[in-house]
Chain A
Amino acid sequence: MSSTSLRSGAQRIVGGLEAAGVTLAASVPDTWIGRLMATVRESRTIRAVDAAREEEAVAIACGVGLAGGRGAVLIQNAGLFNCGGVLAGLVDLYRIPCFFIVSYRGDRRDPVYYHEPKGRVTEPTLTAWRLPYAIADHAGDLAAQVGRGVEAAEKSRGPFVLLISGEDLE
């Protein structure tokens, strides 16, 4: 068994954020994101910030980026749906790199029935909003998937969304 497989998915994701130079993670939790943020809070290099609403988290992360750091946004897909305005009027308009980790509630891996409507519209919304995205694969190198997402945001000077499921954190 490799050392990587001894670590939880949440630890591997946070390790990827650390390796990518992320200095702050702004978040509004759901069950899955809350578990991931618990691991973020153990990081020595990433500051965890709890926002009251998702648009705030996006602006906070952008402020970090404009001030020389790297911010990330950790929210649920329902929260991402709240962010259309700030994505268009801040991230896109000013071309600010912004990396998102978004819990993909309601996809086929989610056991909770009431998330299904959100799951049905998540990828169509990302596509309609022209948000580049990837779906995390916990069988692969999660840290590398995070790193590629952060770099994609930096390179494009725009958003990149990594969709995760609860099983990616185990």
Chain B
Amino acid sequence: MTARKPLLEALVAMLGPDDVLVSCLGANSRYLPHLAVTAPVFALCDSMGAAIPLALGMALQRPDRHVVALEGDGSLLMCPNVLATVATVHLSNLTALLWVNGHYESSGGQALPSAPVDWASLARGFGIANVERVGDAPALRAAFPRARAAEGPALLVVDVAFDPHEPIPPYSERPDEIRARFRIS
């Protein structure tokens, strides 16, 4: 299974200034300041489960921008109901990437409840038609353009390795700095 950073690097390389990136708390938000991201980034450091609805609000307000939400499986397990809302609102300018590693990485690497979740089937069951599962950077590079071009919202279920010893950088930006810098032109 592929580590997170190469997947994240593959994603941000496909984003441009006309995209918007909303990141969930944890490793994604901690890596992003160290990557060359040309899209505006709103990185969460708290509020599990907020990334997708936050991105949905931005996508509603700015139909001229493609908004990409990064969410973790632990966060979405708290509020999978948001998939129903996303399906109902049915925006084509919203893509969510669900990072699945089966652990609460930020809080010490505890395992999620052990019942396996078929996220792709769950998303389809909620009414999201554009769902793909990817497991490495080449697959992500192939799937993301399809997600971006899809009619209606898209979800990419990204299988990512869990490594309790991964040297994830600490948070390097404060919320007020993230808030002040975030602008959609």
Q: A-side interface residues toward B, CB under 8 Å? A: 23-24, 26, 47, 49-53, 55-69, 71, 85-86, 88-90, 93-96
In the docked arrangement, what's the CA distance between A69 and B63, Å?
12
Q: Hey, which chain B residues are within 8 Å of A55, CB to CB?
A: 49-50, 53, 79
| Interface membership of B82, Cβ < 8 A | yes
Interface contact A63-B58, CB-CB below 8 Å = yes
In the docked arrangement, what's the CA distance between A85 and B48, Å?
9
| Interface membership of B57, Cβ < 8 A | yes
Could you tell me the distance in whole angstroms from the C-beta of A99 to the nearest C-beta in chain B? 14
Select from chain B the residue with minimum beta-carbon distance to A157. B179
**What number of A-B contacts does a CB cutoff of 8 Å give?**
110
In the docked arrangement, what's the CA distance between A161 and B56, Å?
23
In the docked arrangement, what's the CA distance between A26 and B70, Å?
22
Select from chain B the residue with minimum beta-carbon distance to A69. B61
Could you tell me the distance in whole angstroms from the C-beta of A50 to the nearest C-beta in chain B? 7
Could you tell me the distance in whole angstroms from the C-beta of A149 to the nearest C-beta in chain B? 19
- Looking at B39-47, B115-123, B130-138, the stretch in contact with chain A turns out to be B39-47
Q: Hey, which chain B residues are within 8 Å of A24, CB to CB?
A: 57, 60-61
Interface contact A64-B57, CB-CB below 8 Å = yes
Given known pairs A63-B54, A90-B47, the reply for A51 and B85 (CB within 8 Å) is: yes
In the docked arrangement, what's the CA distance between A26 and B86, Å?
13
26 chain-A/chain-B pairs, Cβ below 8 angstroms: A47-B60, A50-B85, A52-B85, A55-B49, A56-B53, A56-B79, A56-B82, A59-B54, A60-B53, A60-B60, A62-B57, A63-B53, A64-B61, A65-B57, A66-B42, A66-B54, A66-B57, A66-B58, A67-B20, A67-B62, A69-B61, A85-B47, A89-B44, A90-B46, A90-B47, A90-B54
Q: Hey, which chain B residues are within 8 Å of A88, CB to CB?
A: 46-47
Could you tell me the distance in whole angstroms from the C-beta of B67 to the nearest C-beta in chain A? 8
Interface contact B81-A63, CB-CB below 8 Å = no
Interface contact B57-A89, CB-CB below 8 Å = no
Q: Hey, which chain B residues are within 8 Å of A58, CB to CB?
A: 53
Among B45, B89, B175, B182, point to the contact of A66 (Cβ < 8 A): B182
Within 8 A of A (CB), among B47-79: 47-50, 52-62, 65, 79
Could you tell me the distance in whole angstroms from the C-beta of A57 to the nearest C-beta in chain B? 8
Interface contact A59-B57, CB-CB below 8 Å = yes
In the docked arrangement, what's the CA distance between A72 and B124, Å?
29
Could you tell me the distance in whole angstroms from the C-beta of A27 to the nearest C-beta in chain B? 11
Select from chain A the residue with minimum beta-carbon distance to B82. A56
Q: Hey, which chain A residues are within 8 Å of B58, CB to CB?
A: 63-64, 66-67
In the docked arrangement, what's the CA distance between A93 and B175, Å?
7
Select from chain B the residue with minimum beta-carbon distance to A63. B57
Q: Hey, which chain B residues are within 8 Å of A50, CB to CB?
A: 85, 88
In the docked arrangement, what's the CA distance between A127 and B104, Å?
32
Q: Hey, which chain B residues are within 8 Å of A71, CB to CB?
A: 57
